[in-house]
Structure 1
Amino acid sequence: MRWIHAAGRGLLVLLVILTGYAASGARADEGAASGRGPLTLATAGDLTGYLGPLLEGWNRAHPGERVTLVELPDSADETRAQMTTDLRDGGRHRFDVLNIDVNWTSEFAAADWIRPLPRDRFPLGSFLPPVVDTATYDGRLYAVPYVTNAGLLLYRKDVLAAEGVPPPRTWAELERYAETIAPKHGLDGYAGQFLPYEGLTVNAAESVYSAGGSILGDEGERVTVDSAAAREGIGFLARGVREGWIPKAALTYKEEESKQAFQDGRLLFLRNWPYAYVSASAPGSAVAGKVGAVPLPGPSGPGTSVLGGSNLAVGAHARHPDSAARLIAYLTSERVQRQVLTRGALPPVRADLYEDPELIEAFPYLPTLRESVLAAAPRPKSPRYDQVSLAVQAVVHDAMTGRQTPEAAVRRLARELAAIS
Structure 2
Amino acid sequence: MKLTRRSFVAAGTGAAVASLATPALWRTAQAAAPIQLVSHRYPALEYYAQQFSAAAPEGNVNQQLMPFDKAFELMNIALSSKSNSIDVMYVNESMTGFMRSGWLRPLNDLWEKYSDEFNLKDINPDVLKHFTYEGKIYGMPLTSISHLFFYRKDVLDEAGKQPPKTIDDYIGLASELNSPMRSGTISCLRGDSALGESHWYINALGDGWFDDKWEPVFNNEKGIHAITRLKEATQYAQQGFMNAHNDECTIAMQQDIATMGLSWTTRATAMDNPEKSAVVGKVDFVAPPQGHGRLALDGYAISAFSTQDPDTLFRMVCQAASDQSMRGATGFTMVPRVSILADPEVQKKYRHYPAGMEAISTAVPFPKIPEFFAVGEFIRRRILQAVAGEMEVAAALNTAAEETRNHLAQAGYYK
TM-score, normalised with respect to structure 2: 0.80
Which residue of 299, 322, 328 corresponds with 2:317?
328
Give me the whole-angstrom Cα distance separating, in 2, the residues matched to 1:401 and 1:206: 19
User: For residue 317 of structure 1, what is the aligned residue in structure 2?
Assistant: 305
* TM-superposition CA deviations, 1:68-96 (whole Å, max 9, x none): 332214xx4444345445556777x6532
| Structure 1 residues 263 and 84: alpha-carbon distance in aligned structure 2, compared to 1, 3 A threshold | farther
Matched, 1:271 2:293: no
Does the 8 Å CA contact 1:211/1:303 hold for their aligned counterparts? no
Give me the whole-angstrom Cα distance separating, in 1, the residues matched to 2:358 and 2:273: 23
| Structure 1 residues 139 and 236: alpha-carbon distance in aligned structure 2, compared to 1, 3 A threshold | farther
Give me the whole-angstrom Cα distance separating, in 1, the residues matched to 2:314 and 2:375: 31
Correspondence 1:7-406 to 2 at 5 A? 38-47=34-43, 50-51=47-48, 53-55=50-52, 57-59=54-56, 63=57, 66-73=60-67, 76-84=68-76, 87=79, 94-103=85-94, 105-110=95-100, 114-122=103-111, 125-137=121-133, 140-183=136-179, 186-197=181-192, 199-218=193-212, 221-241=214-234, 244-247=235-238, 249-284=240-275, 285-297=277-289, 302-320=290-308, 322=310, 323-341=312-330, 344-406=331-393
Q: CA deviation at 1:173?
A: 2.2
| Structure 1 residues 108 and 253: alpha-carbon distance in aligned structure 2, compared to 1, 3 A threshold | farther
What letter is aligned with 2:149? L
| Structure 1 residues 410 and 46: alpha-carbon distance in aligned structure 2, compared to 1, 3 A threshold | closer
Does the 8 Å CA contact 1:238/1:402 hold for their aligned counterparts? no
Give me the whole-angstrom Cα distance separating, in 1, the residues matched to 2:393 and 2:123: 37
What letter is aligned with 1:334? D
Deviates more, 1:132-141 or 1:158-167: 132-141
Deviates more, 1:391-400 or 1:354-363: 391-400
Give me the whole-angstrom Cα distance separating, in 1, the residues matched to 2:400 and 2:370: 18
Does the 8 Å CA contact 1:127/1:350 hold for their aligned counterparts? yes
| Structure 1 residues 120 and 359: alpha-carbon distance in aligned structure 2, compared to 1, 3 A threshold | farther
Equivalent residue pairs, number: 372
Moved >6 Å (runs of 4+): none
Give me the whole-angstrom Cα distance separating, in 2, the residues matched to 1:379 and 1:52: 25
Does the 8 Å CA contact 2:379/2:397 hold for their aligned counterparts? no
The secondary structure found in structure 2 opposite 1:151 is strand
| Structure 1 residues 56 and 106: alpha-carbon distance in aligned structure 2, compared to 1, 3 A threshold | closer
Q: Percent identity?
A: 21
Where in structure 1 are there 5+ consecutive unaligned residues?
A: 1-29
More helix by share: 1
Give me the whole-angstrom Cα distance separating, in 2, the residues matched to 1:200 and 1:79: 24
Larger radius of gyration: 1
The secondary structure found in structure 1 opposite 2:240 is helix
Aligned-residue RMSD, C-alpha: 3.0
Q: CA deviation at 1:238?
A: 1.6
Give me the whole-angstrom Cα distance separating, in 1, the residues matched to 2:211 and 2:323: 33
Where in structure 2 are there 5+ consecutive unaligned residues?
A: 1-26
Q: CA deviation at 1:372?
A: 0.3
Deviates more, 1:353-362 or 1:328-337: 328-337
Give me the whole-angstrom Cα distance separating, in 2, the residues matched to 1:130 and 1:305: 14
What letter is aligned with 2:375? V
Give me the whole-angstrom Cα distance separating, in 1, the residues matched to 2:266 and 2:28: 42
Q: CA deviation at 1:131?
A: 1.6
TM-score, normalised with respect to structure 1: 0.79
Q: CA deviation at 1:316?
A: 4.2
The secondary structure found in structure 1 opposite 2:172 is helix
